Chains A and B, each alone.
Chain A
């Protein structure tokens, strides 16, 4: 702060409080809706104060789900989401760190070609090549499997670049010393590189977990069988009841449960989250 201007300070706090309210408002309304029984919505306006059906609504959704629209229990869907998020995060980190290691620490024919092929994946979001990718996965018989849900999303140019950047800043002397001491390439990787990139791995993990958990279009296409539904895509199938009023309390309870895990990750690992976000964009 350059100089003390009380009016500007008050203005700053007002802007921030307004921002916090706008951010929290939709969540508050959703949570309130999830605490009411179905009849409370007939009055024509969303209730603004908590109701008494919280426990019942959440327990029903978690244990039995919404049978009318063929939805499995949310506990199963959340489990699927967790499997998907963890597999994508760990998978992306693993294959990216070893390919960055190969690119930085080895010379081999086609090294540049490999680098450019990885670079191209950066330019091809799922949404753009959706139909042909779906066809490939269908031809490989991977519809309705965890492999189909995760493997096509696992290649990562961003993560490879991040690790390449990290490895380039690690002094060459370390590798010379390791070689003089008789360490082979894999020993050097396990005992020196991996521990040194621990922080970057953790930061990247936070970002990728959120990315994996929040996937929507891909699971929507790949899963036709309810046992593989993830919670983020399941919520849409619930809202799509033809011609009848949606069951708001159940839908909003699902929305709250769907956002809870990644939001908790951001709040409790804020430092790693910010680090991961800003580094992956460099």
Chain B
């Protein structure tokens, strides 16, 4: 907020109106409708709606399919976050060591971020295709029969790799920026005191990187839980037997394919609650990062 400001009665409303109109029509109204619908039940023809209170939510959390989807989401989210963060950190540490070629490597490593998740899904789906793909062929040489259309674990590995691949670039850029902001004098002092590279990493680099890491964990959680819809849709479509049916995909399936409005709305509201919690955590953390 500024100390001084323009005095004008109508102009500020005019300036803020477009944003407000779009927000209200396409964000608040639908979200409100989802909340209302989650307390209602519609009959098969969509003629009558009755208020059912928390029945939709109760049904949801007693539904084994939903509980299973929750578990799948947890495994998937942790898998994507761990894979994307650890590989990005390794690459960032390596770039931090190279003196001359660093920027060339960076260019070669960041562009997957620009590839659409749906296209990423198609690429990995092709590589792992059981009839023609290269990876199943290589795996068969070591005696493993890959088939993500039948084996749930194979499908989970496929979606985790596909979803983590573009996210590595993103995490990499933030880790490189984080490493640059650690004063060289600290690491030099530790080296003079006799700490080797491994000890320096665990006692100095990693603790000083923790704000970046924490921020990235939250961002990766949000990415894995909400932005990976295209990856799932292009690779496994939630299958086989719901083994990769994460919450976001289930909302779409139950709502658009199954047309179960009440349940889909209740699922939307649960997801909304998760997003809000994650956003609040992220914002509280940013307050702290400034004083760090």
Contact = CB atoms under 8 A, between A and B. Distances in A.
Interface of A: 1-3, 5, 8-9, 11-13, 15-16, 19-20, 23-24, 26-27, 29-30, 33, 41, 44-46, 48, 94-96, 98-99, 101-108, 111, 114, 117-118, 120-125, 127-137, 140, 151-152, 154-155, 160, 168, 172, 175-176, 185-186, 188, 210, 213-214, 216-217, 221, 232-233, 235-236, 239, 245, 248, 251-252, 255, 258-259, 262-263, 265-267, 270, 273-274, 277-278, 281-282
Contacts of A26: 120, 123-124, 126-127, 165
B119 A12 contact: no
Given A102-B15, A123-B275, A124-B272, A216 B107 contact: no
B118 A129 contact: no
B241 interface: no
Given A29-B134, A106-B5, A185-B8, A128 B111 contact: no
19 contacts: A2-B191, A8-B97, A16-B91, A16-B98, A27-B123, A99-B15, A104-B2, A105-B2, A117-B20, A127-B251, A128-B272, A128-B275, A131-B255, A131-B264, A185-B6, A216-B118, A258-B116, A263-B111, A273-B110
A132 B95 CA distance: 46
Contact of A172 (B2, B93, B200, B248): B2
B127 A255 contact: no
A191 to B, nearest CB: 14
Of A16, A44, A101, which is in contact with the most chain B CB atoms at under 10 Å from its CB? Answer: A16
Contacts of A175: 2, 4
Given A8-B97, A106-B12, A123-B272, A221 B256 contact: yes
A132 B30 contact: yes
A176 B122 CA distance: 56
Nearest to A27: B123
B11 to A, nearest CB: 6
Interface string B104-135: 01111111111111111011111100011110
B191 A239 contact: no
Given A20-B105, A45-B132, A130-B251, 14 more contacts: A1-B97, A9-B98, A16-B98, A45-B134, A99-B15, A104-B2, A128-B226, A132-B30, A185-B8, A188-B6, A214-B116, A236-B122, A236-B234, A274-B173
Given A30-B126, A98-B15, A239 B234 contact: yes
B45 interface: no
B26 A136 contact: yes
B23 A106 contact: no
B197 interface: yes
A228 B261 CA distance: 27
B265 A23 contact: no
A35 B165 CA distance: 24
Of B26, B125, B126, B174, which is in contact with the most chain A CB atoms at under 10 Å from its CB? Answer: B26
A164 B219 CA distance: 22
A129 B22 contact: no
B134 A236 contact: no
Nearest to B276: A123
A245 to B, nearest CB: 8
A239 B226 contact: no
Contacts of A23: 108-109, 111-112, 165, 168-169
Given A99-B15, A106-B12, A124 B98 contact: no
Contacts of B252: 127, 130, 217
A251 B122 contact: yes
Given A24-B108, A131-B34, A274-B173, A16 B94 contact: yes
Contact of B28 (A107, A108, A120): A120
A9 to B, nearest CB: 6
